[in-house]
Structure 1
Amino acid sequence: MFRWDSPHYHHLAMDDNDELESFRQQWREEVTRRSKPKATAPGPATPTATAPPPARLPPTRHEASHRKAIEEEGPPLASFDPDELAQQVGQLSVEPPEDDFSRREVAEPTSALEHFERAVEKEAEGNLGDSLSHYRKAYRLDSSVDKSYRNKHYAHVWKKPNQPAAATPAAVTQQTEESPTLPTPELIASFAHVPISPVEPIVENTPPPPCPIATVPSEVLVEILRHVAMDDPSAFGRTALVCKRMAYHFAHEQHIWRRICQSREFGFQGMHYDFACDLHGEPIYTLAPRYTPFPKDGPVEIPASLSSWSQVFQTLPRIRFTGIYISTVNYTRAGAASAYSNLSWNSPIHIVTYYRYLRFYPDGSVISLLTSTEPVDVVPHISKENVMAARTPAHRKHQRRTSDAGHTLSGATDSVPPLAMNTLKHGLRGRWHLASPAETSEISETPAEIWKPGSASDQKSLLSDERDLLIETEGVDPKYVYTMHLSLRSSTVPKSAQVGPAPPNPSKNTKLAWKGFWSYNRLTDDWGEFGLRNDRAYVFRRVRGWGLD
């Protein structure tokens, strides 16, 4: 038994104090090392100047990468039909796939069918709150309004075609010999020498209006189409609906499609397979040549799985700069019960809706925005200039030059609505790049059995698909960096939502599916994972006037 004043007890106490002090010293050094900010390159100080973003990928895969929703909706590249482009000519739409995101005066619905139609429109836009309100009004006015809606919009799908009268075998043989059915590629090839016919006369038995383009030689016509394609590829696609001659040039002139693929505005010259700028949009200068799959100054080859440049443009992963990617998120949460009622079934249920926006730029920068503001109120004003103007402190706004004023959708300097400016304060600058095809081909050869969460092979296999997209943006605090892992997909209609015949071929590269979302703390070198339980994929919406400068 030891006494408090014994020499042996004091010796043991001194040993314990030494070990405790040594542990405290190690703990202080570890905390100091973790909390010490990394050194930054010398330069002008900015309010958000911190350590550079992480050069490595998140430590593990995100649980969102295992969702079934991000699986490829269409056939893989290897099974791409070479005749698909020719078959798409008959499926083109004359309506331009673009929107100016401006409010239009719409009459308030009065009948049950009008309320039901408005509810369907709101549901397609992702506004479930207004959609539910119109559904309730429609069913209060007419309990069978859904049948009226189906009879109005889908009666032609259910109606059986009239059975023609039975023809004799001789008549069938004669009809087959007179009009043989040609495959679509051969049919389009037969349009090569078809003249361009003028429009019908405005008044019967009068000369038709002049058609100057009908006498233009083919060489000049192809040159006109080349300029149209370089200005706007979608306008070039709509020329196939003009006449048979235009449809032939649209599918046959592959040198035009090659120019589009090698262009910077719409093609793969503007794609980045490594970060080309920092989070603030400042370019990163390097002596190494920038990788591009189809360089202009050297021989290029089409991938083995494709057969034409038009298929290359439509199929290979490509970010679009002529619009914005929008993710509409809806979820429900229980509201508070009334203080005057003890009934649980009478408790309200709130439908929460918010939006995520991504606008990409050809220089490798991106704008990310998370807000509850509807697209019609904020999309026309999303730009790097407006985000910086909205984040400028109030006491410095009077120092801005007139040329730094907010930019509208058309690019002209004009005042931005207060709602949009307040929303753009939360805009985050960032950068993006696609997965390099060379690196993904090496990763695809790695056996799947060696993959382990948190290992070095896991970090490399994060971008294991050439459709993968990596985005780094600023955080809500300067010490954070957000890393988004997305994947390019095709927009299709689920089989459960299809009504009538199968829809036409899907649009390529118009959807960004989630594969992961992390935050990186630059002070403590820690990663945090964001849950994506309610988030949905981004869908591309073309905006009138964007990317056509």
Structure 2
Amino acid sequence: MEDNAELESFRRQWREEVTRRSKPKTGTPPAPTPTAPPLSRLPPTRHEAAHRNEVEEEGPPLASFDPDELAQQVGELSVQPAEEDFSRREAVEPTSALEHFERAVEKEAEGNLGDSLTHYRKAYRLDSAVDKSYRNKHYSHVWKRPNQPTPAQATTTQLQAAEVETVPTQELIASFAHLPIPQAESIIENTPPPPCPIAAMPSEVIAEILNHVALDDPSTFARMALVCKRMAYHFAHDQPTWKGLCQASKFGFGGMHYDFACDVLGLPIYTLGSRYTPFPKDEPVEVPPPLSSWRQVFQSLPRIRYTGVYISTVNYTRPGATAAYSNVSWNSPIHIVTYYRYLRFYPDGSVISLLTSTEPVDVVPYISRENVAAALTPANRKHKRNASDHGQSLSGAADPLPAVASNALKHARRGRWHLASPTNTPEPSDSAWKPESGATEKPLLSDQRDIIIETEGVDSRYVNTMHLSLRSSTIPKAAQASPAPPNPSKNTKLAWKGFWSYNKISEEWGEFGIPNDRAYVFRRVRGWGLE
């Protein structure tokens, strides 16, 4: 009986201790209901990164451009695909000051500030005016201004500009509807030009061809608008093509997830209910206001891209150690530390997250679920430690996964993702996480551009939760400050809103500090997502 009484006393004290620890502190949201699954809950508080203003990369306003300069820039437009293969090329070591300066600019654009600073120093040691030489070589057409016209010429130009009627862009493109597709010029003078079979095709056939091109690769469809005026008209006004592209699963919103579709390891979650999609094919759908066309829907609404990788380049400085023989600290070295974060999304709702100091050219081509599984296998780790640096196995056969990539992928984390619901309705489990009455903060998923990512933790007890938001590098600052900007993100950036760790045993949240981390920027990789 004494043992039972002591056991009951211990149980009572343990329950009281658990109840006291689970009670929320003053000023914090109440604890979640135990009926909600732990991994579907949102973190209890807003992260300090949610109030960070990401610096947007904006160009100068179009009105400030010189007409000649603008015409020259338009003439330099290219139809080459904006994709990269991330292959390392043989780099010749620079010798002159200008070559060092060009290499420094290239390294700075990649985010490698340490090597960039080294080349800048070498360039200025060889030539103190190397920046002027670089400007004259690469930006002479920008800095060169036309001669100032005389007052009579200025008056004539103003009168001619007043007589020219300005046509809106939409009307201008609509006037291209009946223009023929121009044939190619003659290769040899006074000979017939090469045939152009597409020039004689009806508009319906051309629209059907472009529809297949758009469903296969939207970027190729967009580049076709630069071919001629007729193609530009089809690109802007073929609404059935854009509607089918929005409803498709390969690149459109039919492939987006607004709830978790798999677990952290990528295994699918099977449910009896139908998966939500904003534009179902079996129901009549309309363009959501304030948008006016399906082209704007595809280009504006939040959408994850599968044809590349999102990269965050982080640089920060830390002081070095003072020399043992020196008593002063003013000449202590300053180290520039550079590391990268990678995110690759998959259409099935899984994601790969990687934090490493390995440069993109060495690791991006090998970021895949198969390579991550191989790198995380204990037997493969032992094999890699015994392999040579050239990616050769012990048997001498060529290894498809280089050692530098395998060492980086050992730290990869598998996970899952989902976007916020476009209906802006709080999730059932979100009601328990709302701030107390009187608080001014909104729920975490109050913006349809938000995305939640859950990845593996340091061990099976933990799950990491990343709260990001889709952004664009061309949104005006005035629109960014508003809760519902008129031009939503074009999905080229992922801005930080928070980063937490969740303990599945104690059901406690831990906040990661990310003071130096910057937004992810999308980089398309050749061949990804086009299988």
TM range (shorter): 0.7 to 0.9
Q: Deviations over 1:485-516 (max 9, x none)?
A: 00000024999xxxxxxxxx998110000000
Q: TM-score, normalised by structure 1?
A: 0.78
Check 1:107–1:397 CA distance in 2 against 1; reply closer, same or farther (3 A cut).
closer
Q: Cα distance, 1:173 vs. partner?
A: 6.7
| CA positional deviation for 1:160 | 2.5
Following superposition, the deviation at residue 33 of structure 1 comes to: 10
Task: Structure 2 unaligned segments of length 5 or more: list them.
Answer: 22-36, 60-73, 384-390, 392-397, 478-486
Q: Is the 8 A contact 1:434 1:469 kept in 2?
A: yes
Which of 477, 488, 512 is the matching residue for 2:470? 488
- 1:97 is the counterpart of 2:79: no
- In structure 2, the partner of 1:470 is 452
Residue 408 (structure 2) pairs with residue 423 (structure 1):
yes
- Equivalent position of 2:243 in the other structure: 258
Residue in structure 1 matched with residue 336 of structure 2 by the alignment: 351
Q: Distance in 1 between matches of 2:20 and 2:348?
A: 34
1:28-81, Cα deviation, whole Å (9 max, x unpaired): 55789999xxxxxxxxxxxxxxxx75221111110110112278989xxxxxxx
Aligned-partner SS, 2:248? coil
The residue correspondences of 1:26-425 to structure 2 (distance < 5 A) are: 26-28=12-14, 54-69=39-54, 93-164=78-149, 166=152, 180-394=165-379, 415-425=400-410
Decide whether aligned partners of structure 1 residues 238 and 397 sit closer, same or farther in structure 2, where only a CA change above 3 A counts. Answer: same
Letter in structure 2 aligned against 1:312: V
- Structure 1 residue 475 displacement after superposition: 0.5
Provide the secondary structure at the position in 1 that maps to 2:98.
helix
3-state secondary structure, aligned to 2:117: helix
Aligned length: 474
Is residue 523 from structure 1 mapped to residue 505 from structure 2 by the alignment? yes
Counterpart of 1:410 in structure 2 is none
2: CA distance between counterparts of 1:174 and 1:480? 70
Distance 2:324 2:461 in 1: 44
1:158 is displaced (CA, Å) by 3.1
The answer to whether the 8 A contact 2:302-2:488 is kept is no
- Residue by residue over 1:158-183, the C-alpha shift from the partner in whole angstroms, topping out at 9 and shown as x without a partner, is 33223456359899878876x64422
Q: How much is the aligned-residue C-alpha RMSD, in angstroms? A: 3.7
Evaluate the alpha carbon distance shift between residue 208 and residue 517 of structure 1 in structure 2; reply closer, same or farther with a 3 A threshold: same
1:442-485 per-position Cα deviation (integer Å, ceiling 9, x unaligned): 99xx9xxx9737x8999970111000000001111110000000
Contact 1:281-1:430 within 8 A present in 2 as well? yes
Contact kept, 8 Å, 1:70 with 1:514, in 2: the verdict is no
Q: SS of the counterpart of 2:282? A: coil
Residue aligning to 1:7: none
Q: Alpha-carbon deviations, 1:503-546, whole Å to 9, x = none?
A: xx998110000000000011111100000101010000000001
> Residue 222 of structure 1: SS of its match in structure 2?
helix
| 1:525/1:484 CA distance change after superposition, 3 Å | same
- Tell me the secondary structure at the aligned position of residue 97 of structure 1: coil
Q: Partner of 1:119: helix, strand, or coil?
A: helix
Alignment partner, residue 547 of structure 1: 529
Distance (whole Å) between structure 1 residues aligned to residue 504 and residue 495 of structure 2: 27
- One-letter amino acid of the structure 2 residue matched with residue 544 of structure 1: R
Match of residue 435, structure 2, among 452, 464, 479: 452
Mapped partners of 1:68, 1:28: distance in 2: 45
Query: Counterpart of 1:527 in structure 2: which amino acid?
Result: W
Identity %: 72
One-letter code aligned to 1:471: I
- Rg larger for: 1
Write the distance in 1 (CA, Å) between the matches of 2:304 and 2:165.
Answer: 42
The offset of 1:198, in angstroms, is: 1.6
Distance in 2 (CA, whole Å) between partners of 1:71 and 1:103 is 29
Q: TM-score, normalised by structure 2?
A: 0.81
Q: Which amino acid aligns with 1:486?
A: L
**Helix, strand or coil: the match of 1:61?**
coil
For 2:495, the equivalent position in structure 1 comes to 513
- Relative to structure 1, the CA distance from residue 62 to residue 171 in structure 2 (aligned partners, 3 Å threshold; closer, same or farther) is closer
Larger mean Cα displacement after TM superposition, 199-208 or 166-175: 166-175
State the Cα distance separating 1:236 from its structure 2 match: 0.2
User: Where does structure 1 lack aligned partners over 5 or more consecutive residues?
Assistant: 1-18, 36-51, 75-88, 399-405, 407-412, 496-504
What is the CA-CA distance between 1:394 and the residue it aligns to?
1.0
Contact 1:59-1:458 at 8 Å conserved across structures? no
- Contact 1:451-1:458 within 8 A present in 2 as well: no
Distance in 2 between the 1:378 and 1:34 partners? 47
1:6 maps to: none
Structure 1 residues 303-330: Cα deviation after superposition (integer angstroms, max 9, x where no partner): 1110000000010000000000001111
Cα distance in 1 for partners of 2:349, 2:146 equals: 53
**Residues 105-164 of structure 1: CA distance to partner in whole angstroms, max 9, x if unpaired?**
232222212211211111111001110011001110111212222233333333322345
**C-alpha distance in 1 between matches for 2:191 and 2:427:** 68
Q: CA deviation at 1:206?
A: 2.4
Contact 2:104-2:119 at 8 Å conserved across structures: yes
Q: Aligned AA for 2:265?
A: H
Deviates more, 1:332-341 or 1:150-159: 150-159
In structure 1, give the amino acid aligned to 2:214.
Answer: A
Structure 2 residue matching 1:481: 3-state secondary structure: strand
Q: Deviations over 1:338-372 (max 9, x none)?
A: 11222212221111111111000111110111111
1:499 corresponds to: none
Q: Is the 8 A contact 2:419 2:450 kept in 1?
A: yes
2-structure distance, mates of 1:57, 1:416: 37
